[in-house]
Amino acid sequence: MTRRITIIGGGFGGLTAAISAAEAGAGVTLHEAHRRLGGRARTAQAPYRTNEGPHAFYRRGPHWAWLRQRGLAGPTARVPLGALLRTRYLLDGRLHALPPLALSRLAARRDAPVGRTFLGWASEVAGERTARAAANFAAVATFHHDPGLLSAAFTQERLRRAASLPPEAVYPVGGWQSVIDRMTARARELGVRVETGSRLEALPPADHPVIVATSLESARRLLGDPGLSGESGRTLLLDVALRSRRGDAFFVSDLDRTGWVERFTTQDGSLAPAGEQLVQAQLPLAPGESRESGVARAEHLLELGFPGWAERLCWRRTAVAAGRTGAVDRPGTTWRDRPAIDRGDGVLLVGDQVAAPGVLSEVSFTSALEAVALALTGRPAHCPTRRTAPTGTTR
């Protein structure tokens, strides 16, 4: 059994792999290019603790139980019941307090096929208007500009979990950085050697397994494999801090197009100074759509949910996340058709665009456990990392 592992990348996936391998008795060295660990799970420092990556755990996800068992999840917050009454849905150009009833019924279904588009299948089930609204709502868990074009099974799974009641999402108090800090401390306690500011331009020569837990773009360069690619979203992120005012929305979802706005200080007031609220607008961008177009759409949603927001603005930040929002599956494909974890010659791939199941950050987590199992035993942890499901079946 191999007892040495090198990990490249100190984000959520890399730290999961490091802890899992160290718990199994392996000697682990982790290289991180930046001075801070966390990758896209990093949280900006005070006074505005914005997240660069995921904002919530889905409680039914595998990483939630794993983190809690180790005391790494830390304190979390849920959306207060009263905040749900401040959720708004933009449909047919008007704000509504509730989504269409047919959308909720559609979200509960579990029979979506792999081989059809979500829009095509859902239109037959619930009508085109409801199907389009449901697809746009599902963007909150796909970050894709048109989830209706994706595999029905892929989009439906994310719609079901995002629309679950009571809400499945819970939020780490202090942002995801608090979770990363606890994971880092745990890794060091287990003897993991953490090398920050260690940017590798090529795979290190090694007589033991190497786990590459970076973005797919960085992995492509490290592995020298131009064919290593996958489809992901492109999303405009607009973070604003506003002076608090009664009556502001908690969440605004654009069911006419993809996009949403969420007030994160509703769950966790520590993310901004007293008297201010931290809000993020997230707008998936279509191919060729400009940053300016996304900003305009974001500002429109802000005005709908937070009237007079510009006059209350205390701080603002805009960014575009390209290829950093997880994999998407086209009709006829599943997670098994993404880049394989096992790249051969002792090299293993971890990330949110590889061949592992789950939603958003769950893919990084699951692929990390799979990579460690392959590195230490040569056997997968739970299931094959690459097997194409027959078109027309469900996941």
Domain that holds residue 8: 4-52+173-230+331-377
Question: pLDDT tens, 288-299?
Answer: 999 999 999 999
Do 307 and 238 lie in a common domain? yes
Instruction: Tell me, rounded to whole angstroms, the distance of Cα 11 from its chain centroid.
Output: 13
**Domain boundary at 322, 346, 363, which?**
322
What is the per-residue pLDDT for 206?
A: 77
Percent of the chain with pLDDT over 70: 95
Q: Which two tokens stand for residue 79?
A: 């959306």
Q: Is residue 62 part of a domain?
A: no
**Domain boundary at 298, 322, 346, which?**
322
Alpha-carbon dihedral angle through residues 302, 305, 310, 312, given to the nearest 10 degrees = -140
**Number of domains into which the chain is organized:** 2
Q: Is residue 143 part of a domain?
A: no
**105: phi then psi, degrees, rounded to nearest 5:** -65, -40
Q: Is residue 218 part of a domain?
A: yes
CATH number for the domain that contains residue 316: 3.90.660.50
What letters, b where the CB count within 10 A reaches 16 and e where it falls short, cover 22-37?
bebebebbbbbbeebb
Q: Is residue 394 part of a domain?
A: no
**Nearest in space to 141 (alpha carbons), one of 158, 129, 123, 154:** 158
State the DSSP code for 60.
T
| Cα distance between residue 117 and residue 274, in whole Å | 46
Do 261 and 221 lie in a common domain? no
Do 260 and 307 lie in a common domain? yes
Do 236 and 318 lie in a common domain? yes
Do 337 and 213 lie in a common domain? yes
Do 256 and 370 lie in a common domain? no
> For the range 192-196, what are the long-range contacts, defined as Cβ-Cβ under 8 Å and sequence gap of 24 or more?
192/18, 192/19, 192/22, 192/28, 192/29, 192/30, 193/27, 193/28, 193/29, 193/30, 194/10, 194/30, 194/32, 194/37, 195/29, 195/30, 195/31, 195/32, 196/10, 196/32, 196/34, 196/35, 196/36, 196/37
Do 208 and 345 lie in a common domain? yes
Q: Is residue 263 part of a domain?
A: yes
58, containing H or E segment? strand 57-58
Do 200 and 276 lie in a common domain? no
Q: Is residue 391 part of a domain?
A: no
Specify whether the CB–CB gap between 175 and 271 falls below 8 A: yes
Do 308 and 178 lie in a common domain? no
Three-class DSSP labels, 160-210:
HHHCCCCCCEEEECCCHHHHHHHHHHHHHHCCCEEEECCCCCCCCCCCCCE
Specify whether the CB–CB gap between 367 and 386 falls below 8 A: no
Positive or negative, the Cα torsion across 132, 134, 139, 142?
Answer: negative
CATH number for the domain that contains residue 21: 3.50.50.60
Q: How confident is the prediction along the chain (395 residues), in pLDDT tens digits per residue?
A: 458 999 999 999 999 999 999 999 999 999 999 999 999 899 999 999 998 766 888 888 999 999 999 999 999 999 998 898 999 999 999 999 999 999 999 999 999 999 999 999 999 999 999 999 999 999 999 999 999 999 999 999 999 999 998 889 999 999 999 999 999 999 999 999 999 999 998 898 878 999 999 999 999 999 999 989 999 999 999 999 999 999 999 999 999 999 999 999 999 999 999 999 999 999 999 999 999 999 999 999 999 999 999 999 999 999 999 888 899 999 999 999 999 999 999 999 999 999 999 999 999 999 999 999 999 988 777 654 443 333 333 33
Three-class DSSP labels, 221-287:
HHHCCCCCCCCEEEEEEEEEEEECCCCCCCEEEECCCCCEEEEHHHCCHHHCCCCEEEEEEEEECCC
Do 306 and 338 lie in a common domain? no
Do 188 and 226 lie in a common domain? yes
Specify whether the CB–CB gap between 13 and 37 falls below 8 A: no
Q: Is residue 130 part of a domain?
A: no
Computed on alpha carbons and rounded to an integer, the radius of gyration of the chain in Å comes to 21
Do 251 and 290 lie in a common domain? yes
Q: Is residue 164 part of a domain?
A: no
What is the per-residue pLDDT for 204?
A: 86
